[in-house]
């Protein structure tokens, strides 16, 4: 059996062509033929199982996104450390993509404040190692499996300035909230200067064309303060009302 590499509690294969690329490339699909597809599904299923097993005991957590290219001398890096520490003081774990930049900053703040610092890494063409401040590191081959973990084990998102990957995570989270797939899921944008232009365009163009509703903006909070971001992302769950008695009902967490 080929040697396998352990990252946290998740066992992953040695470095090969990224699994997502192999799955999506038509030439690879044609070469393997349809008979190989059921076995590929089993490998994907096994990655879900391993991810669920690794993260099941994390407890209350907030997922934080941001650019892997942010440098330690960037003011946002210091804000990321402060946010990670603020979440840890509230008893929340942090979950990031496990890489450098903003992910490292948030993991560092949480780790140094005594919280549980989680990193969900991914195979990339240029290898991305888990940053040194990750207490529980898991590595995935498929982006869609990894994205599921970001949502399933978090109570909310904080999104720092970032590039295409960060924007993808932002709009996917907004879509899940808008369509009711996730409820009471705070989505906090950190960095007014960075995000205000995008929000302005969404108001002027997307909303004006009727492609979204004004209420959709209620899904988003905006701040420049780490403590406020932590408070927004960890807002208590609303108590549901009993349909017959209208009395507050406490649900198990």
Domains in the chain, start-ordered, CATH in brackets?
A: 58-233 (3.40.50.450)
User: Cα–Cα distance between 95 and 151 in angstroms, integer?
Assistant: 10
Look at 221 and 37; give whichever has higher pLDDT. 221
Nearest alpha-carbon partner for 136 in 149, 126, 151: 149
Per-residue pLDDT tens for 12-31?
545 556 666 666 665 555 55
Q: What is the pLDDT of residue 49?
A: 93
Q: What is the pLDDT of residue 14?
A: 54
Nearest alpha-carbon partner for 117 in 90, 91, 94: 94
Look at 205 and 29; give whichever has higher pLDDT. 205
Strands 157-159 and 136-140: unpaired
Mean pLDDT of 163-175: 95
Judge residue 162's burial from the number of C-beta atoms within 10 Å of its C-beta, 0-12 exposed, 13-18 middle, 19 or more buried: buried
Look at 227 and 237; give whichever has higher pLDDT. 227
Tell me the average pLDDT of the chain.
85
CA atoms within 13 A on the CB side of 25: 10
Q: What is the pLDDT of residue 42?
A: 85
Under the banding of pLDDT at 50, 70 and 90, the label for residue 250 is very low
Under the banding of pLDDT at 50, 70 and 90, the label for residue 39 is confident
- Judged by average pLDDT, the poorest of 96-100, 160-164, 244-248 is 244-248
User: Cα–Cα distance between 82 and 63 in angstroms, integer?
Assistant: 15
Q: What is the pLDDT of residue 129?
A: 80
Say whether pLDDT at 253 is over 50.
no
Beta bridge partners, 186, equal none
User: Cα–Cα distance between 186 and 231 in angstroms, integer?
Assistant: 10
Q: What is the pLDDT of residue 6?
A: 45
Under the banding of pLDDT at 50, 70 and 90, the label for residue 229 is very high
Under the banding of pLDDT at 50, 70 and 90, the label for residue 35 is low
Tokens representing 168 are 């993808």
User: Cα–Cα distance between 234 and 29 in angstroms, integer?
Assistant: 43
The CA-CA-CA angle for residues 48, 158, 111, to 5°, reads: 75
Q: Determine how many CB atoms are found less than 10 A away from the CB of residue 114.
A: 10
From residue 52, alpha-carbon distances to 16, 147, 163, 235 in Å are: 24, 12, 28, 25
Tokens representing 17 are 């062509």
Most distant CA atoms of the chain, gap in Å: 61
Per-residue pLDDT tens for 174-203?
999 999 998 889 999 999 999 999 999 999
Beta bridge partners, 64, equal 158
Per-residue pLDDT tens for 76-120?
999 999 999 999 999 999 999 999 999 999 999 999 999 999 999
Q: Determine how many CB atoms are found less than 10 A away from the CB of residue 118.
A: 26
Mean pLDDT of 138-142: 90
Residues composing the chain? 253
């Amino acid at each position: 059996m080929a040697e396998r590499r352990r990252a946290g509690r998740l066992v992953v294969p040695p470095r090969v062509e990224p699994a997502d690329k192999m799955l999506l490339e038509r030439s690879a699909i044609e070469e393997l033929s349809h008979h190989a597809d059921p076995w590929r599904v089993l490998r994907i299923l096994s990655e879900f199982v391993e991810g669920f097993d690794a993260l099941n005991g994390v407890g209350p957590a907030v997922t934080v996104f941001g650019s892997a290219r942010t440098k330690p001398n960037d003011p946002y890096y210091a804000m990321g450390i402060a946010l990670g520490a603020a979440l840890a003081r509230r008893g929340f774990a942090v979950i990031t993509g496990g890489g450098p930049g903003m992910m490292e900053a948030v993991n560092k703040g949480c780790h140094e404040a005594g919280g549980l610092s989680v990193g969900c890494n991914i195979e990339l063409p240029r290898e991305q190692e888990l940053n040194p401040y990750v207490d529980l590191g898991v590595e995935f081959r498929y982006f869609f499996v990894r994205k599921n973990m970001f949502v399933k084990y978090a109570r909310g998102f904080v999104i720092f300035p970032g590039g295409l990957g960060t924007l993808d995570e932002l709009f996917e989270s907004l879509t899940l909230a808008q369509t009711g797939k996730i409820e009471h899921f705070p989505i906090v944008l950190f960095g007014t200067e960075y995000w205000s232009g995008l929000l302005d365009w969404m108001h002027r163009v997307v909303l004006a064309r009727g492609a979204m509703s004004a209420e959709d903006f209620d899904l988003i909070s905006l701040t420049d303060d780490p403590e406020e971001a932590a408070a927004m992302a960890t807002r208590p769950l609303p108590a549901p009302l009993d349909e017959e008695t209208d009395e507050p009902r406490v649900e198990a967490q």
